[in-house]
Structure 1
Amino acid sequence: MGDANTPEELKFGSAYNYWIKTDAGFDLSRGSPEKITVKTTKDPIMIAPKKTALIIIDMQNYFLHEKLFDNGPGRESVPLMMETVCSCRKAGIPVVWCNMGMNEADRYTLPPSYLAMSYKRDNATFNQSIGTVSIPGQAKPIDMGGKLIKGSWNAELWGPLKAFAEEGYKLGTDVHIWKNRFSALCGHQPLELWLQENQITTTLWGGVVTDVCVWGSMLDAYYKGYDMVMVKELANTTSPDFVVKTAYRNTENWGWLTSTSSLMEGIEQASA
């Protein structure tokens, strides 16, 4: 903890990387003149748009399509997710669509623990074909391709999110980044390089599933020194309620838990 500047102000960190705690909450902006105040379940936080990223994990056909996975909460979160993304785009907060995507080399480097867990759901491990699927409106069954392999149908963003994200790519507000582990920051993942190159210090999180890939990514973000904030309605799972409560509690211990309404309200007030 750094020296206190006033009795009401505490500085945590160094001259280059720090938080400031005041009666108004935690300032995570690292001295940025542009700030957005976001209410959380604890203290309010002040974030800098250019140093913040909204990272959305694994909103792919394999985890969301009704023919592949009974994930109603995931599909139901999409309209609000799109609204929140639009708000972040306007505020200058970059949006990262971070998805599971393997290549041929990964079948030789993935550990047995990953391969065994992957096999449980559909008797196929990463990269193996998961067959075809018939979808209303399509004349022929769709080849789903290798399980979560880059370029396959099952690894694409689900439903309206695909075209929606592509709009963001064209605008320069959104980026797409692959990962080959449940955590987006396990080891040397492309996401970490992107965060470093863009000088991101605060990470907002959502996607599927709350207690596995989202939480695993957040945990590694914490260990690597990033501010971590879960946006409650954007993180979804089919796991039991007690599992979700555990993820929420740990989020509050090591970071912050906020809501889509609080985030969008903060963005709107900052632009007024």
Structure 2
Amino acid sequence: MEYSAIDSITPPCVVSRGSGAPPPASREPRPMTSAGSVTAGLSTLSFARPVPAPRPVAVPATPQDAEIDLARTALVIVDMQNDFLHPDGWFPRLGVDAAPLLAIVPRLKALAAAARAAGLPVIFVNWGVRADRAELSAPLLAKAGASGRRPVYGDPSASGRGRILVEGDWGAATIDALAPERGDLVVHKHRLSGFHDNEFDSILRNRGIDTLLFSGVNIDRCVFSTLCDASFRGYGCLLVEDACATVSPAYVSDAILFLVRQLYGVTLASDALIAALEAQPQ
């Protein structure tokens, strides 16, 4: 749902002046500009915003069931990008097996479709660095590049398809199977967390979103970092556990699920979430 300012002009306030004072001069409201402000004269600028009607829905979750307000909830899809999943991308060219990441694509497609049908914003949070890497710290580059032993953010792709995870280049684009649709949002990041030093928080608050459904890759890296930062900022956090994946060992995912359930929110299955979304009146 889009939220836009409603600007209005109200009649001037009538102020009591005592029995001997003349009545205040009458003023007509001045015309509005196209932006909603007044051109001159006395007026009132309304900062009121329309509040969507609550759409509460219960969802089965762990360690306890949860209730979310669909009018204030968004689906977040993290890092489903060519450089992580496509055979010509950065990770696969380094020898990383992307099969576990690709395995969640069908579930993510179904989940995104259900979210759109239910009126939830679908937000892709993707790596997208500057071509000159000016925003990337030396420790970050050293760690990602194994101290110069492998290509890193902004380097030419080994497949010849642009530069690694540079915003606007092929590697930073969402994979074709999950390409954003009309009305979806794409937010670029340059750290593991999708909230660091960008516009993500402002977009959510401007849309009245206070609850986030997390999905994507890697569950122990960018998904978890973004979820933690969301929790620190006061968002409700639900991790769709079978719509997340990682190239790390299984015990790492188990640890993340434990931490989310213990400290940050709840986890749930995509089928249960989709069923809850589809049961709601449109």
Equivalent residue letter for 2:254: K
- Shift in Å at residue 119 of structure 1? 0.8
Deviations 1:75-95 (A, max 9, x none): 111111101111111111110
Kept in 1, the 8 Å contact 2:52–2:71? The answer is no
* Structure whose alpha-carbon radius of gyration is higher: 2
Residue 231 of structure 1 corresponds to: 240
Instruction: Give the drift of 1:32.
Output: 5.2
Q: How many residues align?
A: 224
Indicate yes or no: 2:112 matched with 1:73: no
Query: C-alpha deviations, 1:169-196, integer Å up to 9, x for none?
Result: 2xx2x1111111111012x322111111
Task: Give the structure 2 partner of residue 160 of structure 1.
Answer: 177
Residue type at the aligned position of 1:239: S
**What TM-score results when the alignment is normalised by the length of structure 1?**
0.77
Distance 1:67 1:144 in 2: 8
Could you tell me which residue of structure 2 aligns to residue 44 of structure 1? 65
| C-alpha distance after superposition, 1:61-81 (max 9, x if no partner) | 111013442211111111111
AA in 2 matched with 1:36: V
SS of residue in 2 equivalent to 1:249 = helix
Q: Is the 8 A contact 2:57 2:70 kept in 1?
A: yes
Query: Which has the larger strand fraction?
Result: 1
Q: CA deviation at 1:115?
A: 0.4
Aligned to 1:151: 168
Q: SS in structure 1 opposite 2:156?
A: coil
In structure 1, stretches of 5+ residues that fail to align are: 1-29, 133-142
The CA distance in 2 between the partners of 1:103 and 1:189, in whole Å, is 13
Q: What SS is found at the alignment partner of 1:149?
A: coil
Question: Is it true that 1:245 corresponds to 2:254 in the alignment?
Answer: yes
Q: TM-score if structure 2 supplies the norm length?
A: 0.75
Contact 2:56 2:69 in 1 (8 A): yes
- What is the rounded CA distance, in whole Å, between the counterparts of 1:82 and 1:94 in structure 2? 14
Structure 1 counterpart of 2:71, one-letter code = K
Identify the residue that residue 212 of structure 1 maps to in structure 2. 221
Matching residue of 2:119 = 92
- Say if 1:37 and 1:270, in contact at 8 Å, map to a contact too: no
Aligned mates of 1:262, 1:247 — CA distance in 2: 20
Cα distance in 2 for partners of 1:176, 1:115 equals 24
Higher helix share: 1
Shift of 1:31: 10
Q: 1:101-140, aligned counterparts within 5 Å?
A: 101-104=128-131, 107-120=133-146, 123-132=150-159
Counterpart amino acid of residue 35 in structure 1: P
Q: Cα deviations across residues 30-79 of structure 1 (Å, max 9, x unaligned)? A: 99531121110122211111210100001001110134422111111111
Q: Which runs of 5+ in 2 are unaligned?
A: 1-50
Question: Does 1:35 find its partner at 2:56?
Answer: yes
- Per-residue Cα deviation, 1:161-216 (whole angstroms, up to 9, x for no partner): 22xx2xx22xx2x1111111111012x32211111111110011011100000001
Stretch moving more, 53-62 or 259-268: 259-268
Name the SS for the 1:41 alignment partner. Answer: coil
2: CA distance, partners of 1:268 / 1:123: 45
Residue pair 2:240, 2:269 contacting (<8 A) in 1 also: yes
2:78 aligned residue (57, 60, 80): 57
% identity of equivalent residues: 28
